[in-house]
Amino acid sequence: MPLEHLRLLDLSDREFLLVLADVITDSGDGWADSLEVAQRLGIKGESPRRTVACRLSWLARWGAVKREHRRDDHGNIRYHKDGRPMHTQRWALTGVGADIAQGALRKTDETALERLRDEQLVLVARWLNKRSRNGTPATMTKLVEREWRRGTLLG
């Protein structure tokens, strides 16, 4: 079934970042065009590129991706009249975005989590909340929150 939207319910941030990473790998230059990402996802509708660019913009705001600056023939960044830098439709993963996309639990961590009793889950949620507030980068905090929300939406 083709996607028409890129809501959190349709695709998690991690799943989306993995698709972006695949397109980046295929491009060979470290960047992915938003239209290529839309095509890879099979997005239909009026504006597939805009649908992907919107999700990428949010991920950029949270620090998981970055957008390529438009440059002149000498390699200098071009600017709009109001001083904002111009951008292309190409995007790349930041270090944090790559960590989220490529990250994995070690088997020992997964085993320890699976051994938790049901009544301990509330304590783990409290711990995760505390950890997110105390020293965890804002990007990670936001993406952890979104992953939790997606899991609750899926039921």
17 and 42 both lie in a single domain: yes
Q: Which domain holds residue 123?
A: 107-154
**Band (133; pLDDT cuts 50, 70, 90):** confident
The structure's pTM equals 0.87
Task: Give the span between the Cα atoms of 70 and 56, in whole angstroms.
Answer: 17
76 and 150 both lie in a single domain: no
Cβ neighbours of 135 (radius 10 Å) = 8
Number of domains in the chain: 2
Q: What's the whole-number mean pLDDT along residues 53-78?
A: 95
Structure confidence by residue, pLDDT tens digits, 18-45: 999 999 999 999 999 999 999 999 998 8
For residue 53, give the CATH number of its domain.
1.10.10.10
136 and 94 both lie in a single domain: no
Chain-centroid distance of CA 11 in Å reads 10
**Band (1; pLDDT cuts 50, 70, 90):** low
